[in-house]
Amino acid sequence: MSTALIYINLDAVHPIINSVWHRTNINRLPSSGEPITMLCGATAPAEFEGAAHRDVIRVARQCWDCERVYREKRGLPAPPNGYPEPAHPVPHPR
């Protein structure tokens, strides 16, 4: 029997903690429940859901601490207007 292989671009994975999306340096998909650390230092267990479960009421906002680290590592300039105040998400149990 053949399998249906699904490729996931790990550079496009942006974990969301408390409605804040982050950047992370993962080199493989973590197992469900495995802790992952974001570029800003926040840590939370991995959890996977389909897009249909996405929160449609609250729009996820960007973690500017992660963005700062991401840009610095790649030699990219800061946004033209600088960085907004950082968000400090706290993982919450489900």
- pLDDT, tens digit, for every residue of 31-40? 999 999 999 9
| Cβ-contact 38, 24 below 8 angstroms | yes
Strand 61-62 to 20-21 pairing: parallel
| C-alpha dist (Å) from residue 11 to 14, 29, 47, 59, 88 | 8, 11, 17, 21, 22
Question: Which phi and psi angles does 73 have, rounded to 5°?
Answer: -65, -25
Q: Give the bridge partners for 21, in sequence order.
A: 16, 62
- pLDDT, tens digit, for every residue of 20-32? 999 999 999 999 9
Given this model, what pLDDT does residue 79 score? 81
- pLDDT, tens digit, for every residue of 55-90? 666 778 899 899 999 999 999 998 877 777 655 555
Cα 63 to Cα 83: distance, rounded to the nearest angstrom: 10
